[in-house]
Amino acid sequence: MGTVLLLSFVLGLAAFLGGLSLVVVRALEVWRATRSLQRKLTRGIGDVLTKAAGVETRVSKAADTAGELQAALARLQKSRRTLGILSAAWGDSSSLFGALGAAYPRK
């Protein structure tokens, strides 16, 4: 009877230690996974912040470029008005000199 009791105690102790070691191993795995997730999240947040700063820089440059574009567009419209005036003047002078050339005798 004493041997059966001792054998059952040893088997119970082995089962308890096996279960305890399994719990410890799983707890270590969870702890490592948590630390890995924390590192990845920190790195990802840093990347997002870096990219957001780059986007902010590009947006401010785009705003500056938009101002320059508006100024260039105003200059272009002024140049087109000048071109229209000069083109009309050229047409008037061409018709005038064409009429004079037709009336002027050539050798």
26 in a structural domain: no
49 in a structural domain: yes
58 in a structural domain: yes
81 in a structural domain: yes
Mean of the per-residue pLDDT values for the chain? 88
- Write out the two tokens for 100: 């004079």
Determine the structural domain holding residue 94 and report its residue range.
Answer: 39-98
107 in a structural domain: no
Calculated CA dihedral for residues 58, 59, 63, 69, nearest 10 degrees: 50
b/e map of 80-98 (b: 16 or more CB within 10 Å)?
Answer: eeeeeeeeeeeeeeeeeee
25 in a structural domain: no
64 in a structural domain: yes
pTM of the model: 0.47
Place of tokens 């997002």: 48
- State the pLDDT confidence band at 78, using cuts at 50, 70 and 90: very high
54 in a structural domain: yes
CA 42/CA 44 separation, integer angstroms: 5
What are the pLDDT digits (tens) for 50-61? 999 988 888 888
**What's the total number of domains in the chain?**
1
